[in-house]
Amino acid sequence: MKSGFVSIVGRTNAGKSTLVNALCGEKIAIVSNKPQTTRFRIMGVLNDSECQIVFTDTPGLHKPQTRLGDFMIAQANESLVDTDLVLLVIEPVDNVGAAEEKIAKSMNKLKIPAILVVNKIDTIKKEKLFSIIDKYKDIYEFDAVFPISAKNGDGVPLLLEEIKKYLHEGPQYFPDDMVTDLPLKQRIAETVREKMLYVLDKEVPHGIAIEVAIREENEKIIKLDATIYCEKESHKGIIIGKGGKLLKKIGSEARTDIENIVGKQVYLELWVKVKEGWRDNNFLLKNFGFSE
C-alpha cells in the first residue's frame, strides 16, 4: 500500500482544522471562528482501500505572548520536519502576510513539496483569485495550487486526489479503525473547550484549560468529570453564568458530541476552578498536556 504524512500549516483562522475534518470525512479537530482554536498538533488518519494518509493539523501561526503561545508555535514549526507534503492554507486576501513568508522561508530551507490551498473561496469573486495566487509565486515554488471551500467541501475531493500523488510505498502506520492520535480524555477536553469557544466572548476562552477524569465506565455508559481552569475569578463567574445557566448549556452541547465519540451514554459533570497565570507556568502547562 501507499502511505504518507501531510502537514497542514497556516496562520490562525485560515481554516486548517475544518480542512482536516473535510479530508478525513469526520470530525477530528475542533473548530470555531475564534483565533488560536488549535493548541497542539493533531493527527487525523484517513484509511481507504489503496492508502493511508496521516494529516497533521497544527496551531495557527501568530505572535506568541505567553509560554503556551511559544509551545503552539513550536508545534507548528516542528510539523514541517519529516513530512511528505505540506499544505499551506491561506485566506483569500490580496497580500502575503508575515506568517506565510515565515513558513515559506522554512520550507525553502527544507525543500519540501508543497501545495498552496486558497481556502474560503465562497467568500470572494473568482476573478480575484488570480491576483492572490500570483503574489504567492514569489515566496515559494508550489507544486500545485487548489482553491477550495473546506466548509462547503468545494474542491476538497480534487485536492485529496492530488495529495495521493505524493504518497510512497510504505507501511500502514496506524490500525484501520484509528482516526486520530488524540487520547480519549484529550478529545473529550477539546470537545468541551469547543463549546466554550462558541458561547464565550472576548479573551475568556484563551485562558481556559480542561482536565478530564473518568469516574465510571461500562459497555453502556461513561461518567466523566471535567474541570475547567480559568485565570481570573471574574472569568469563573462568566463561565458559570447566572444560576449556572451557561455552564449547563456548555455541558449539554458537549455531551451530545462526546456520545458520538465514545458510542455510549455520557454523564458529564463540569467544575470550574481558578489557576492564575497558568499559561506562563511551566509546571501547570505540563500538567495540562502542553509539553514535548
Q: What is the pLDDT of residue 291?
A: 65
pTM of the model: 0.87
Q: What is the pLDDT of residue 7?
A: 92
Q: What is the pLDDT of residue 187?
A: 92
Q: What is the pLDDT of residues 55-86, one digit of tens each?
A: 998 877 666 667 776 776 777 677 777 899 99
Q: What is the pLDDT of residue 288?
A: 82
Strand partners, 114: 86
Q: What is the pLDDT of residue 146?
A: 97
Q: What is the pLDDT of residue 147?
A: 96
Q: What is the pLDDT of residue 72?
A: 67
- Ranges of residues in the chain with a pLDDT under 50 are none
**In CATH, what class is 184-287?**
alpha beta
Q: What is the pLDDT of residues 1-16, one digit of tens each?
A: 899 999 999 888 899 9
Residue 229 and residue 271: Cα distance in Å, rounded? 9
Q: What architecture does CATH give domain 2-169?
A: 3-Layer(aba) Sandwich (3.40)
Percent of the chain with pLDDT over 90: 60
Q: What is the pLDDT of residue 45?
A: 94
Domain ranges of the chain: 2-169, 184-287
